[in-house]
Structure formats: structure tokens, C-alpha cells
Chain A
């Protein structure tokens, strides 16, 4: 038993915003009651005075690199980093080695999670065999084994024909399709966003249309198939407009945005591979559009796209470095910095973007109420600290936010009634 006392409970599912005590009994929430109403009776107490108590944060998009790239991350190290970031559940993308395109790999990931993970691990299966864009993967078997969605992340589902068939199939299986939207011919060879900065630096750029062309294709296919489509790491104004229009049309299209895309822009890019990710940092007006989309509700979730790469891989010429940056430990702080402290969104909306938002995408419930999963994220909006990538439990160090000073941080992460991270 664990009693979380005196925290400001923010629960978007029940629209709760008051000082309450929360009693956790193993896997389940035993009670939520007015402060002081639940007797401590010798149970472990976490004093959350001055802190926000929220349902457990879900990261719907991360790379844990196991199996196959354990020099960069493992399920153990990645989930320790996730716990530090306040996440109680992490959806891991299937682009491991081998690709998570069958139930054996899905089960392997879940077994490893059981023995080594700090937080819940929810695998995402590949949409196509080997994510090669040819045959449809064994989606039903993976779902049965525990996969929560399918994606060929790292690249788009290769052809419109295959995307259409995967969508038809996934609709019948009631599992969402997560799309890494990119027209690979427009993006070929590119290492950043095309624009003034790419032209100045002489780095090959991909136009914004490289993303939105693919979003357009997929929205049309949702109209055709009725599937649930989720656009991963949406980064451009044009893509966002299409998701907004699709939602108005009543299509089941959702999207996520990463903290780096709503914080940085292409003009921040230097010859430093910590600024290299895919999709690349976008233009100023794209960032403005994302901020507006986060505020108005078009964006459903904040996702990290945590993409660790060991220093040996990343400390090379910009052109040769792999795409991706760390994300877990800076996600909440960047969101507070960019969205809440600036007055763009409310704290309730922020919590929604990390909890009920991603849960809705996955078709699950997320709330802090009696009988629900005892997963809780406790954070401060005021705590001052400086992020140091060198101190991360992650095996990698590739963050452009190293040494950035923040206001606001996770104070405790609770999974199944157990504190897995405490500040």
C-alpha cells in the first residue's frame, strides 16, 4: 500500500482538479479521497504537497533498441530513463534487430520487460514483414501476444496499396495503424529540413511536402477503409491542417507531436548530429502551427520519439550520423517550458497530452480512480534543475538539450503501486 498525500490531483478523464489523497494497493487504485480522509495506518506515505498528481504518463513513441542494438539502449536502461521522465508506460517501435514483425519477438520484448523494465512496455508490431513494405506482418498473432499498434516506423508503409490493405486488416482487428509519414523520394539523401538554413549549411534538405504528401495519401485511405490512423511525430503545418480537416470530416485520424519539434526549428541546426532527427526540425511557421494545434486540441498526444544512438554512431559527420535524439527525460520539462509557463495551454491540457490523449489513440482508459491501474506520475511545475545527458541512465547521450536549465520536473513515477523513480 502507498498513500500519496496532499497532491493536486489533475485527471483529465474525470476533470478533477483538487487537493486529494490517493491510496494505491498493488496493481490498483484503492481510493481517491479528500486530503486527510484516508488514514495512513502505517502504510508508506509519499508527501506530494505542492506537487501535481496525475494518471501515469504514456509515451506512445519510443525506441528501446532491444533486441539487437544493445550498445545504444536496452529495455532496462531505456525504461529507467523513461521512469526518470515520469513515464509509466512506453510504446516501443518495432525497428529492432530483428524487426518486431512476429509474435516471438513481441513475446521476447515482453519477457525482457518483465525481468528488467522499470515501467510498462507496450510493444508496437511492424505493419509489414521486416518493415520492408511487401508482405503484411502477422498482426493478429502480435496483437494476441501483446502488441498495441502496428507501424513500419523509421519509414512509411511503403506503398499506397500496402497501406490500404494494412488499414483494412487493422480495422477488422481493431488495432491502430501508426504512420511515419514521409515520401521517401522527396526525402532521399536529405539530412534536415529544406530552407534557408539547409542552403546556408550546404546540407541536403527535404521539403515540408515530404511529410504532408504522405499524410494526404493516408487520410484518403482512412476515408476508404475506416481504419484508425495515428500520424507519428507530426512536424509540419501542412500535415497538421490535413489532420484537422480529417477530424472535422469525422475520420478516425489522430496525431502526436514531439517536444523537440515544438521547441526547436531548422534555424537551430548546427554541424552537430544532436540536431539530426527524422522528421527534421521544421520551419518557424511549422512550430507556430504545432503550438496552436497543441492548444486547440488537434494534437492528441506528446510523444518523445526517444531514439538513442551510442556515441560511436552519432559522433560522426552530420551527413553520416543516424537520425534521432533522446527524449524521455526532457519531455515534461520542455512541455512545461514551451506550453504551460508561456500560458499557451493549461496544466490540465498538458496532463491530457501525456495521459488520456495517448490512451485514446490506443483505445484504452487512463484515469485516476478507484479500481484503475495504480500508475501515477507526480511532478513539480516549479522545481529548478539542469538536464545533464551524461547523468542519464540511458546508454546514449544524443540530446541537443544537454545542460539546459529547466523549471518543472517529475518528482516520482509510480508503476503498479510501486515507486520506480523518486527525485
Chain B
């Protein structure tokens, strides 16, 4: 099994086999995160363009770190979508970036579908780092990886998602991924934030999805609880009382007792401590919040590795690189081998051994 698409735009169209493959690939990069020397040379000479048209700290840093741990350089573009209104169109901005010859574009945008739209116009791989209220594929993968580590499997689990599901790209990516492994979903939150259409979407995909409006009932038998960040005010939507939200839906230790004893808690961050989740739960042994962050880098390294070496002929499994990490002097060899299949500009670099040093 391999991953055949040029881009990673959404998890919805991927098969269970493809998703398993991506998770397995991430596994080997997880080991690197535990190593004192984390930098590889796999993508040396390559450049990742990070284009964040919407505010993001953790995802941008995570992708940037993933790129740098693979030895790639990064180009950063940070622009509020609104500032683009004044001048350049998205396509012009992206074509300008592309003209600087990056090897991959990682893109976040407030408009759903913007990465897909951009990908239609570019030759290089595009990774969706979160688009509007559509999907956040790398978050879906890192959540699944985290669950698999803790639970030993991602098959047939009871997953409860709490909060503003309507506007959550994280919820959608989780449903599309875990649904393909037989997981059952209980969605719980203020009714206007839990679209009834999701039940129909689940039914069409063969995934059991139900809406429940009492948190105690929603947590019953849960293996995994995913608490979403609550944003009480949104453009075009009437605000909801935070006091009401806390009263009805805050994930507290008391409420968590309704879930299975070994249930785990995930949150995509950033946390609103004391709103959607109590500090006690966030810091408990059941919480996986910091593991999610670490796994984020592993997943993103796997994605960059797969998509950026797809055209390089026999892109080898990164395990050889893991060994390289143990032998700081070794990457030179790997570097020279790589250069054979790469472009001319890279060959020049190889002559200078300092470039290969970590």
C-alpha cells in the first residue's frame, strides 16, 4: 500500500488502507521525536512553502519544525485573508510563491476549499493545513495516531465529540478518518452547533453518528472524548452565552466519570481552560493533549516526506534515516546517493560537504 495522490487536501476521499499507511509512516517519525538529535537530511536542498492565510501558531510551527527536522528549508508567508482583499488575489499570491520554486506548499486558509482551488493551479504538492470549516487532515491523522498509541487500536471505538461541531474542521477530519475504521460517533453540543446533516453524512458513509444534547448521556461508554475549542462569537452568527455552554457542556472530571474508566481526552488546542474543559481534566492522566502536539510533528514529517519524495523514484523508507540520526557523521553518504536523482542545482550543493552537516 502506498499513498498515490499528489496532494493531501482532505481525509474524506481516502480509503482505510491509505489512512493506515499514513499512520504507519508516521510511526517511524515518532521515534525521531524521542531522539536527542532530531534532524535528518532526507529533504536537504528542498524547500517547503508555508502559506498561512489565517492566524495559526501551533500548526505553522509544527509544519515548520517537521520540515526542518527533515532537513528542508522553509519559506513563510503569513497574511490575513482580509489583507488580501485590498490587493492581490489568492492565485496571484500563490503563483508568486510558486515562482520562488518551493517543492511543496503547506496552506491554511479561512475559506473552505481554498487549498483544493489552489492545487488545481499548481504542479507542486499541496498540503491542507486547515481550510475554513472543511477539513484539517494532519490534525485528523495526529489524533488517530494518538488514539492508536493509547488504545492500541483505532477500530470500533466509541468517540464523543463535544462543542461547536458545525464550524469544526477537526471534527470533520476525525469523523472521515475514524469512521472508516468502524468507530461510532456521538456528537454533543448546543443544537445549533450540531448539524443534523452529519447523521445523514454518516449514514451515507456507513458510519454511525448520533446527536445527543445531554453531556452525561453523550459520554456514556465513550472510549475517546474529543473536546473542541469553543468560540462563542462568530461572524454572521448570534453569540451564545458562555455561561450556558459551561453549564451544559463543559467537560469536567465529574462528567467524565460517565465515560469508560480508561477513556482518553483529546483537544486540538488552543485550550480555553475553564470553558470547554476544566483544568483538572486537561491536566489529568486521561488527557493526551501534549502527546497530540508531539505526534503532530511526526505526522507532518511523514506527510512532507511522502509527498516531497514521491517523484524521486525509489524513495526509501525513512527508517534508514532513523539510523542516520544515531550516527551524526553518516548523512553525507545518504546525501550523495540522493543527489543522483535530483536536480542540477542540488548537485552543486553536494560538492560542499558543510551543507550536509546537521
**Size band of the A side of the interface?**
20 to 34
| Residue B132 lies at the interface, judged by CB distance under 8 Å to chain A | yes
| Residue A271 lies at the interface, judged by CB distance under 8 Å to chain B | yes
With known contacts A199-B197, A200-B201, A202-B135, A316–B112 Cβ distance under 8 A: no
Among listed A46-54, A131-139, A317-325, A377-385, interface-contacting one: A317-325
Q: Which of A189, A196, A203, A320 contacts B197 (CB 8 A)?
A: A196
Tell me the dominant secondary structure on chain A's binding face: loop
**Size band of the B side of the interface?**
20 to 34
| Residue A363 lies at the interface, judged by CB distance under 8 Å to chain B | no
Q: How far is the CB of A201 from chain B (nearest CB, A)?
A: 6
With known contacts A312-B89, A317-B90, A188–B113 Cβ distance under 8 A: no
With known contacts A316-B91, A318-B111, A195–B117 Cβ distance under 8 A: no
Q: Which of A189, A195, A201, A272 contacts B134 (CB 8 A)?
A: A201
Q: Are A317 and B236 in contact (CB under 8 A)?
A: no
Which has the most chain A C-beta neighbours within 10 Å: B90, B111, B172? B111
The complex places the Cα of A203 from the Cα of B132 at a distance, in Å, of 8
For window 252-282 of chain A, which residues contact chain B by CB distance below 8 Å?
A: 271-272
| Residue B198 lies at the interface, judged by CB distance under 8 Å to chain A | yes
Q: Are B197 and A316 in contact (CB under 8 A)?
A: no
Q: Are A318 and B112 in contact (CB under 8 A)?
A: yes
Q: Are B113 and A199 in contact (CB under 8 A)?
A: no
| Residue A315 lies at the interface, judged by CB distance under 8 Å to chain B | yes
Q: Are B195 and A199 in contact (CB under 8 A)?
A: yes
Interface membership of chain A positions 311-336, coded 1 if the CB is closer than 8 angstroms to chain B and 0 otherwise: 01001111110000000000000000
The closest CB in chain A to the CB of B204 belongs to A196
For window 125-173 of chain A, which residues contact chain B by CB distance below 8 Å?
A: none
Q: How far is the CB of A275 from chain B (nearest CB, A)?
A: 11
The complex places the Cα of A319 from the Cα of B166 at a distance, in Å, of 17
Name the A residues within 8 Å of B91 (CB-CB): 315-316
The complex places the Cα of A189 from the Cα of B167 at a distance, in Å, of 13
The complex places the Cα of A202 from the Cα of B175 at a distance, in Å, of 14
Q: Are A319 and B111 in contact (CB under 8 A)?
A: yes
The complex places the Cα of A202 from the Cα of B166 at a distance, in Å, of 8
Name the B residues within 8 Å of A196 (CB-CB): 197, 200-201, 204
Q: Which of B90, B131, B198, B237 contacts A199 (CB 8 A)?
A: B198
Q: Are A188 and B112 in contact (CB under 8 A)?
A: no
| Residue A216 lies at the interface, judged by CB distance under 8 Å to chain B | no
Q: Which of A194, A195, A201 contacts B112 (CB 8 A)?
A: A201
Name the A residues within 8 Å of B113 (CB-CB): 201-203, 271, 317-318
| Residue A347 lies at the interface, judged by CB distance under 8 Å to chain B | no
Q: Are A202 and B169 in contact (CB under 8 A)?
A: yes
| Residue A113 lies at the interface, judged by CB distance under 8 Å to chain B | no
Q: How far is the CB of B36 from chain A (nearest CB, A)?
A: 41
Q: How far is the CB of A346 from chain B (nearest CB, A)?
A: 37
Q: Are B236 and A316 in contact (CB under 8 A)?
A: no
The complex places the Cα of A50 from the Cα of B60 at a distance, in Å, of 65
Q: Which of A188, A195, A200, A315 contacts B12 (CB 8 A)?
A: A200
The complex places the Cα of A380 from the Cα of B133 at a distance, in Å, of 46
Which has the most chain A C-beta neighbours within 10 Å: B113, B117, B135? B113
- Which residues on B are within 8 Å of A, measured CB to CB? 12, 89-91, 109-114, 116-117, 131-135, 166, 169, 172, 195, 197-198, 200-201, 204, 235-237
Which 7 residue pairs are nearest across A and B when measured between Cβ atoms? A271-B113, A189-B236, A202-B134, A202-B133, A317-B111, A202-B112, A199-B197
Interchain residue pairs with CB less than 8 A apart (19): A189-B236, A189-B237, A196-B197, A199-B166, A199-B201, A202-B169, A202-B172, A203-B132, A204-B133, A271-B112, A271-B117, A315-B89, A316-B89, A316-B91, A317-B111, A317-B114, A317-B117, A318-B114, A319-B114
